[in-house]
Chains A and B, each alone.
Chain A
Amino acid sequence: MRDLFGVVMLFGVYSLLTAILFMDLDAVDVAFTEAAVGAGVTTVLLLSSLRLTRRWEAPPRHNPLVSLLVVGVTGAALVYATLDAPLLGDPSAPVHKHVAPHYLQLAAEEVGMPNIVTAVLASYRGYDTFGETLVIFTAGLAVLLLLGFPEARKSRVASSAIGDQVVLKVVVKLLIPLILLYALYVQFHGDFGAGGGFQAGVIFATGLILYDMVFGGAVARGVIPASWLPRLAALGVLIYGGVGLISMLAGKPFLDYSALSTDPVRGQHLGVLLVELGVGITVFSIVLSIFHALSGRKPQS
């Protein structure tokens, strides 16, 4: 396919189908994230960079036979390896024997929340999640360094890239409050149902990206100035790390939330809530500033 626009659209469809597959495999949180990120944000980012580069791909010059051979051999080796793999849904697979039973049996008592994914994410494996938040923060920083930090008074595009679409404007105006409200629900209800800081951050950013796309950058940037976003991202990481430091000051290990309250389970709950808030703020501001960096740039001919 020479038209990259088609490639990007198909990639979005692929992500959405993957999300449905995750739903079928009982991974609701993951399905949620994939639908918001893969089908939503990634597509928008790819389209923004297509605008800056070129829509049509040059015809191929190489013979694909060598690559096909490499891919075929690797694929055959991998298929051979799967013959030893545990079957789908097999309860005696090694992956179900290690720490997972502990999480499933004791998470409700130790952390005090029904959604075990959130409990493991924010409490048991809080270090990992802190690392991942830092990775996202660093990646966002790298994009801003490559494409330039937002300036406070830059010549702003007053109108939207897709023109004045009345129907879209009305529909989007109705949808955006719902999207933002839903993001907040996902953020603060993540310990009981599917959701959490990562999803909420992405959904909140999606709402503002939609606003930006339909109403134009100048209006959308009036809601949250672009220069705030890097600071907000740093604030999110600081909230996460700060919770860890407080628990250290209270004489417990880094990110042991039971130090936050006299009742350990309440402390855990509070800690998870704060940490998820930090994650949500960072993810939201990084996604939005990446979008601004890519969409605010003028294409060079």
Chain B
Amino acid sequence: MSEIPGLFNYWVVVFLMMAGFYVVISQGNLVKKLVGLGLFQASVFILYITMGNLSGGQAPIVSQGVFIYSNPLPHVLILTAIVVGVATTAVGLALVVRIHEAYGTVEEDEIHARDMADDESLFEENRDGEESGR
């Protein structure tokens, strides 16, 4: 069981990832779904940074007397990913705002119900139109 301290970070990542995943698939509120997506995203960041860590290492800024540095490559990838993440979250929020303006709700069930009702009334109209055309 000597692996436990070394693997603990991965398990935290899996837990957070699954928490985010659960929020995304089970919650009906669109804003909450986006928060779940953010949760998932941050867990991936932690995974990458965990992999880049080196025991006894320092932050990758060259200075005298330091010979072991953490791996800078995951840092670069995640640094840009965080900023890209906020930009894409903003796109999601903008969509949610527009959905709220169009449907008056941000609950998935209600949106779905309204879509179904619209489809049905459209179907009825079409059928009526066809019947009167005959």
Contact = CB atoms under 8 A, between A and B. Distances in A.
A and B pair up: yes
Nearest to A50: B31
A79 B14 contact: yes
A74 to B, nearest CB: 7
Interface in A22-63: 22, 25-30, 33-34, 37-38, 41-42, 45-46, 48-50, 52-54, 57-58, 60-62
A49 B96 contact: yes
Interface stretch (A125-133, A217-225, A238-246): A125-133
A93 B74 CA distance: 13
Contacts of A78: 14, 17-18
Contact of A202 (B15, B32, B69, B83): B83
B73 interface: yes
B7 A67 contact: no
B82 A37 contact: yes
B109 interface: yes
Given A42-B86, A139-B91, A83 B35 contact: no
B52 to A, nearest CB: 7
Interface residues of B, number: 79
Interface residues of A, number: 95
Nearest to B102: A300
Given A27-B75, A139-B90, A52 B97 contact: yes
B61 A194 contact: yes
Contacts of A257: none
Query: Quick one: which of B6, B31, B73, B100 has the most chain A CB within 10 A?
Result: B73
Interface stretch (B22-30, B117-125, B126-134): B22-30
A287 B86 contact: yes
A85 B7 contact: yes
A234 interface: no
B116 interface: no
Contacts, number: 271
B60 A26 contact: yes
B25 A108 contact: no
Contacts of A46: 31, 34-35, 93
Interface of A: 4, 7-8, 11, 14-15, 18, 21-22, 25-30, 33-34, 37-38, 41-42, 45-46, 48-50, 52-54, 57-58, 60-62, 64, 67-68, 70-72, 74-75, 78-79, 82-83, 85-91, 93, 95-96, 99-100, 103-104, 107-108, 114-117, 120-121, 125, 128-129, 132, 135-136, 139-140, 142-143, 146-147, 192-194, 196, 198, 201-202, 283, 286-287, 290, 293-294, 297, 300
Given A26-B54, A72-B18, 9 more contacts: A25-B53, A79-B11, A87-B6, A89-B6, A104-B69, A117-B61, A143-B91, A147-B94, A293-B94
15 contacts: A11-B39, A14-B39, A25-B53, A26-B60, A28-B61, A37-B86, A46-B34, A46-B35, A64-B26, A82-B14, A93-B51, A99-B73, A104-B60, A290-B90, A290-B94
Interface of B: 3, 5-11, 14-15, 17-18, 21-22, 25-29, 31-32, 34-35, 38-39, 42, 45-46, 49-63, 69-91, 93-98, 100-101, 105-107, 109-110
